[in-house]
Amino acid sequence: MSLTILFMPESAYGPTNNSIGIGDILRNRGHRVVFAAESSWKGKLEALGFEEDLVDLAPPAEEEQDAGQFWKDFIRETAPEYRKTTFEQLETVTKPIWDSLIDGAKYCEPQLKAIIERVNPDVIVEDNVITFPALLTAGKKFARIVSCNPLEVRGADVAPVFSGLPADDRGEWDAFRAEYERTHREIWTAFNEWCVEQGTEPLPDLDFIHEGDLNLYVYPEILDYTDARPLGESWHRLDSSVRETDEDFTLPFDRGENGLIYFSLGSLGSSDVELMQRVIDVLGTTPHQYIVSKGPLHEEIKLADNMWGAEFLPQTKIIPLCDLVITHGGNNTTTEALHFGKPMILLPLFWDQYDNAQRVAELGYGVRLATYAFTDEELTGAVERLLGDTELRARLDAAGAEIRGRDGLRKAADLIEQLGQK
């Protein structure tokens, strides 16, 4: 039975790439896959074989924008706030992100209704952190994907989302939750009222998104929280969701006898050129080789002699070649590193990156550093320690093989198919 499946991912590379990976499997199985992505992705999804029926989340810009440009600009403008604690960021980073997301959801509501009428999907798949009422009120099967850290699904016995607080020390949990309530209650109440006016059920308290008929989340079992926060029957874990659409990659240099390391702060974090350059300058003093994802401001970043990099890189083809990943802790990079069995050094900036960094560190699969306060010796020491830890590398090799064997991409495609055929 051929299905029509409508994907609506958040306009950042992480959720969009995740949806591309799953959508590619479904398209190859003969289903019609349409993307209601944000308009700056025009042409990029069509080139991969998908239909595009795009939305604007704000009044269209006068000039053509790069994919995900809105969030790149937002991150660059708020970069000074990333030096603050996660507690302080609730007011200066997290709440403004929700404000922007809410504005986008309201702006595109009539567009989404028109898209759903045109496309007439059997299944709607949303990979985002906020409810778009039109996706829920269309009378279609609805699947939600969580491609952020799964603390997004809250529970009394897990650390609060966005906090980066340890699992085994509850000392600051209540204070963080109280600050989240103080900073977010008003905007949540107004958004909840608007959603109900559009025809949805009320939102869960202080959550900005509803559950779906099917709920998928991307996180390896070795990092998961389900021992402390069990999930309902509609929830399914994808240990990884690594797209197969990246182009092949061949090392553009001869590999030396020391470590080969991949460094990326993601498409958004790399907009902090000062931080990128600081890390690069320190790593340039080591005897190892580096592949650097330079991001949208690549022309402003100067690589050291032991490095090669470019604006965009086929990350899923590069990580398997490397010995270590240095990352901001975005969910895609975190899960992809474990998919390929690689240890990590994590330099979190905002949102769920702190949660991923804390989880990886507290379970012993990598090192979390203070992103703006690390010393040269802390970074170079973490590199040497992780490269030299043969026991850890063996454990991660085995874990990666198990994760790959679970084939999260095809599991997701299977579950979405089953939902559409019910």
What is the C-alpha radius of gyration for the chain, rounded to an integer number of angstroms?
21
Q: What's the pLDDT tens digit per position in 130-148? A: 999 999 999 999 999 999 9
| Residue of 11, 12, 36 lying closest to 23 (CA atoms) | 36
Q: Which domains does the chain have, with CATH numbers?
A: 4-243+407-420 (3.40.50.2000), 260-405 (3.40.50.2000)
Residue 32 three-state SS: strand
Q: What's the pLDDT tens digit per position in 81-120? A: 889 999 999 999 999 999 999 999 999 999 999 999 999 9
Given a contact cutoff of 8 angstroms between Cβ atoms, the answer to whether 297 and 227 are in contact is no
Asked if residue 262 has pLDDT above 60, the reply is yes
- Residue 71 has a pLDDT of 61
- Mean pLDDT of the 219-234 span: 95
- Residue 14 has a pLDDT of 82
Q: What's the pLDDT tens digit per position in 33-84? A: 999 999 889 999 999 999 999 999 988 776 766 655 666 676 667 778 889 9
Asked if residue 122 has pLDDT above 80, the reply is yes
Q: What's the pLDDT tens digit per position in 7-22? A: 999 988 888 989 999 9
Sort residue 135 into left (φ over 0), alpha (ψ -120 to 50) or beta. Answer: alpha
Cα angle for residues 411, 416, 421 (degrees, 5° grid) = 125
- Mean pLDDT of the 387-397 span: 97
Given a contact cutoff of 8 angstroms between Cβ atoms, the answer to whether 346 and 356 are in contact is yes
Cα angle for residues 335, 340, 342 (degrees, 5° grid) = 85
- Residue 102 has a pLDDT of 97
Global pTM value: 0.93
Write the burial class of residue 47 (CB in 10 Å: 0-12 exposed, 13-18 middle, 19+ buried): exposed
- Residue 275 has a pLDDT of 92
Which DSSP string do the residues of 309-344 spell out, in sequence order? EESS--HHHHGGG-SEEEE---HHHHHHHHHTT--E
Asked if residue 329 has pLDDT above 90, the reply is yes
Token representation of residue 103? 């504005």
Q: Provide the 10 A C-beta neighbour count for residue 181.
A: 13
State the chain's mean pLDDT as an integer: 94
Asked if residue 332 has pLDDT above 70, the reply is yes
Alpha-carbon torsion, ordered 236, 240, 245, 249, to 10 deg: 180
Given a contact cutoff of 8 angstroms between Cβ atoms, the answer to whether 344 and 360 are in contact is yes
**Higher model confidence: residue 58 or residue 218?**
218
